[in-house]
């Protein structure tokens, strides 16, 4: 399984890179062919109907947990029995999702008739119906994709993700050129989901050779599954409220164009999250081991600061580049109609960066099993965001929604949670911020340097923009290397580089 883990990790980074690259290349083409309004309608349908996606109830984590338990005990019969229970549970939840989605779809005109015309409402209902069917199938047969993960077949799972991300635009591009639009995109997505389900079912029965037994499980075990999954479900609801509510609110009060502007702006938050989580997620087992050994709090604090510094090196580089060149990038990428997306992105990203460079705090809370307070804060952030977004959307549209989201996020996930990290889990937050402040010199100088370049040489082509980005990157890396990072951080870059060059020398010698 060691090879599965290593290859799975490599393929995860590859999937992240491919998804980002495909999104950057495919999005402007899609927008040009679909139009701003149609893209907004497509985003609204996915956001509105997407709420039923939380009805998987977080069962995936429970499947993985009990599969690992019974595999360790070599109890195949109990494993098969629990799969039977999960199969029924997934089926029931999929049916509930279908019914809920149909009700939501049929009544969507009550929510959006003020901002959408009659034709747009009709198309929205068709789109929401397709999305509902897609999500319901995914939930109803969700057991099989999770079983693949539970058996640690990471290579197969990641390859499936990569293939899906490549196939969808390859199919859609010629269809868009032929004149098909949002409804066809949703149908293509539904077909890919259906094929993925069949592939996972085949893999589970033919390769993994699992069995499903429909026998009654113990009452206490069933209760344990429900309690375990409820916590995950709550986090799913909070995440969905935070991620999708703004698009729905804009659909009610501002219309499809505002939705498309907001969606393009918040696309960049996904890229930044990927940079951060790819670093912090690998530390969960390490931190869990440290907690189990009851290491002193100062060791966890030191790890928090060390990882935060590494994340800040990467994220400050990306953020400074986006602040300097983001407006020109969006102008060249999707056109002047989306220039407000740059403001949306900045407003949402700036407070979010703090949470990203402190993501180790969440890992430490998981390891200590004291996530309750953070979950409550996240819930309050999501709840406060709703009325603020409603008020601000009516005043300033997409930018207003972004501002409301940023305010709610900053209060909960910066100010309150930093005090909690400091007082409750004894992380040296003042020292952390002192480190970040000392490392911000390259960010500030690079920003001034980049803005100067922009004033002298405005980018009106991709070639010129790329040249400016290369010059800016070289300046940032030079400043960061010689003024901000320490020996340990330098070694993280130097050692892999030395190993790589040594391998090249060995290959040249053997050749």
pLDDT digit string, tens, across residues 156-168: 888 898 898 889 9
Which residue, of 253, 282, 313, is where some domain finishes?
253
Q: Tell me, what's the pLDDT at 241?
A: 76
Q: Is the model's pLDDT at 201 over the cut of 90?
A: yes
Q: Provide the domain count of the chain.
A: 2
- Looking at residue 459, the DSSP 8-state letter turns out to be -
- 426 Cβ neighbours under 8 A, 6+ residues apart: 297, 298, 300, 301
Q: Tell me, what's the pLDDT at 511?
A: 55
Report the percentage of the chain scoring pLDDT > 70. Answer: 91
Contact yes or no for 217/81 (Cβ under 8 A) = yes
Q: Tell me, what's the pLDDT at 278?
A: 60
Q: Tell me, what's the pLDDT at 509?
A: 56
Q: Tell me, what's the pLDDT at 89?
A: 92
* Confidence label for 94 from pLDDT (cuts 50, 70 and 90): very high
pLDDT digit string, tens, across residues 421-467: 999 889 999 999 999 999 999 999 999 999 999 989 888 899 999 99
Report the percentage of the chain scoring pLDDT > 90. Answer: 48
181: phi then psi, degrees, rounded to nearest 5: -130, -140
Q: Is the model's pLDDT at 293 over the cut of 90?
A: no
Whether 152 and 37 map to the same domain: the answer is yes
Determine whether 183 is exposed, middle or buried from the number of CB atoms within 10 Å of its CB (0-12, 13-18, 19+): middle
Whether 249 and 267 map to the same domain: the answer is no
Which residue, of 222, 253, 284, is where some domain finishes?
253
Q: Is the model's pLDDT at 281 over the cut of 60?
A: no
Whether 242 and 280 map to the same domain: the answer is no
Q: Is the model's pLDDT at 43 over the cut of 60?
A: yes
* Confidence label for 219 from pLDDT (cuts 50, 70 and 90): confident
Q: Is the model's pLDDT at 292 over the cut of 90?
A: no
For residues 378 and 324, which has the higher predicted lDDT (pLDDT)? 324
For residues 230 and 213, which has the higher predicted lDDT (pLDDT)? 213
Q: Is the model's pLDDT at 2 over the cut of 70?
A: no
Q: Tell me, what's the pLDDT at 280?
A: 59
pLDDT digit string, tens, across residues 382-392: 888 999 999 99
pLDDT digit string, tens, across residues 362-417: 878 877 767 778 888 888 888 889 999 999 999 999 999 999 999 999 999 899 99
Whether 13 and 148 map to the same domain: the answer is yes
Q: Tell me, what's the pLDDT at 187?
A: 96
Whether 233 and 291 map to the same domain: the answer is no
Mean pLDDT of 482-502: 81
Whether 116 and 26 map to the same domain: the answer is yes
Q: Is residue 511 part of a domain?
A: no
Q: Tell me, what's the pLDDT at 327?
A: 94
Whether 236 and 301 map to the same domain: the answer is no
Q: Is the model's pLDDT at 183 over the cut of 90?
A: yes
Contact yes or no for 469/321 (Cβ under 8 A) = yes
Which residue, of 234, 253, 272, is where some domain finishes?
253
Residue 75 belongs to domain spanning: 1-253
Contact yes or no for 182/35 (Cβ under 8 A) = no
Whether 289 and 165 map to the same domain: the answer is no
Mean pLDDT of 327-331: 94
Whether 236 and 334 map to the same domain: the answer is no
Whether 373 and 244 map to the same domain: the answer is no
Q: Is residue 208 part of a domain?
A: yes
d(CA 489, CA 510) in angstroms, rounded, equals: 33
pLDDT digit string, tens, across residues 338-359: 999 999 999 999 999 998 899 8
Whether 226 and 274 map to the same domain: the answer is no
Q: Is the model's pLDDT at 485 over the cut of 80?
A: yes
Q: Tell me, what's the pLDDT at 340?
A: 94
Distances (CA, A) of 441 to 339, 352, 417, 446: 29, 20, 26, 8
Q: Tell me, what's the pLDDT at 32?
A: 87
Contact yes or no for 348/410 (Cβ under 8 A) = no
Whether 171 and 276 map to the same domain: the answer is no
């Amino acid at each position: 399984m060691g090879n599965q883990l290593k290859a799975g990790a490599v393929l995860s980074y590859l999937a992240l890179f491919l998804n980002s690259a495909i999104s950057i290349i495919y999005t402007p083409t899609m927008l040009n062919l679909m139009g701003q309004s149609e893209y907004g309608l497509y985003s609204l349908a996915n956001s509105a109907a997407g709420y039923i996606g939380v009805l998987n109830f977080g069962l995936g984590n429970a499947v993985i947990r009990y599969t690992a338990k019974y595999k360790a005990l070599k109890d195949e019969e109990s494993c098969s029995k629990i799969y039977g229970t999960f199969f029924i549970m997934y089926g029931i939840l999929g049916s509930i999702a279908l019914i809920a989605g149909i009700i939501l779809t049929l009544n969507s005109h009550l929510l959006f008739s003020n901002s959408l015309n009659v034709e747009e409402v009709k198309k929205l209902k068709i789109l929401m119906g397709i999305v509902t069917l897609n999500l319901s199938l995914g939930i109803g047969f969700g057991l099989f994709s999770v079983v693949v993960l539970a058996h640690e077949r990471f290579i197969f799972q990641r390859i499936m993700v990569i293939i899906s991300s490549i196939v969808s635009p390859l199919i859609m591009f010629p269809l868009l050129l032929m004149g098909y639009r949002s409804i066809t995109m949703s149908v293509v997505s539904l077909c890919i989901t259906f094929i993925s389900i069949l592939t996972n079912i085949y893999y589970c029965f033919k390769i993994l050779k699992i069995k499903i037994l429909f026998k009654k499980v113990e009452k206490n075990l069933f209760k344990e599954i429900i309690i375990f999954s409820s916590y995950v479900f709550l986090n799913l609801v909070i995440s969905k409220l935070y991620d999708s509510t703004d698009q729905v609110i804009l659909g009610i009060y501002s219309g499809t164009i505002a939705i498309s502007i907001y969606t393009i702006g918040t696309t960049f938050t996904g890229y930044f999250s990927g940079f951060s989580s790819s670093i912090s997620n690998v530390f969960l087992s390490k931190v869990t081991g440290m907690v189990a050994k009851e290491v002193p709090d100062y060791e966890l604090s030191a790890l928090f600061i060390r990882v935060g510094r590494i994340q800040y090196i990467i994220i400050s580089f990306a953020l400074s580049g986006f602040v300097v060149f983001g407006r020109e990038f969006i102008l060249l990428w999707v056109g002047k109609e989306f220039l407000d997306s740059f403001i949306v992105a900045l407003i949402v990203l700036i407070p979010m960066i703090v949470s990203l460079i402190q993501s180790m705090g969440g890992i430490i809370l998981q390891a200590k099993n004291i996530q309750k307070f953070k979950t409550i804060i996240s819930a309050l952030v999501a709840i406060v965001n709703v009325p603020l977004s409603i008020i601000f959307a009516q005043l300033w549209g997409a930018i207003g929604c972004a501002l409301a989201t940023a305010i709610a996020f900053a209060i909960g996930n910066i100010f309150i949670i930093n005090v909690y990290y400091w007082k409750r889990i004894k992380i040296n937050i003042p020292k952390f911020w002192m480190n970040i402040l000392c490392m911000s010199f390259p960010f500030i100088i690079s920003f001034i340097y980049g803005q100067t370049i922009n004033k002298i040489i405005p980018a009106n082509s991709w070639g010129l923009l790329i040249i400016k980005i290369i010059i800016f990157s070289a300046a940032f890396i030079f400043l960061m290397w010689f003024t901000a990072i320490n020996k340990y951080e330098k070694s993280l870059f130097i050692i892999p580089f030395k190993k790589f060059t040594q391998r090249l020398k060995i290959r040249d010698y053997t050749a």
